[in-house]
Amino acid sequence: MSLAIFESQVVPVRQKLYRFAYHLLGNEEDARDITQDAMVKVWQQKDRMAELQNMEAWCMRIVRNLALDKLKSKKHRRAEELDKAVEIAVTHQDNPHEAAVKQDVMNSVHRIMRALPEKYRTIMQLRDIDGHTYQEIADILELDLSDVKVNLHRARKSVREQLQKLQVYGV
């Protein structure tokens, strides 16, 4: 792989790699380090590029593996809220009350998502926030396509049920 191919295929997904690393680690500095390490690792393995079907999924898998290694080695814990990675900008709201209600709902969704098991949370992040296809998620997480779909369904169902409890019971 040449530098031009690297710049055209790998560099544009750097922000996605960072967001994914941040989601896994919960820390901006660690996410930047992991993203940089992943970019170096991709460059070092440039000879494998020709045989890859999905460059982005391969890069995401490298980020995932590096982040999980970091979590295991340092017994790293999430230091910041997911809200920093997925801030909701409240723009052009006619009514401050509506804006506050929407922000409360989004805060509840983020809190519920943080309480999900890691597999559900990761799949939901990749699909609903980062916009990856089911196949890309399967490639990134090294799961069967059916497992991705089932786990995403279960994650969404859990979030939906928790939100309904909040609306009905206020708990």
Q: What is the pLDDT of residues 56-70, one digit of tens each?
A: 888 888 898 898 888
CB-hemisphere CA count at 13 Å for 32?
A: 2
The segment with the largest mean pLDDT, out of 71-75, 78-82, 111-115, is 111-115
Query: ∠72-75-76 over CA atoms, to 5°?
Result: 100
Closest to 42 (Cα-Cα) out of 70, 22, 12: 12
pTM above 0.75, yes or no: no
User: For 13-26, what is the mean pLDDT?
Assistant: 87
Measured distance CA(9)–CA(3) in Å, rounded: 10
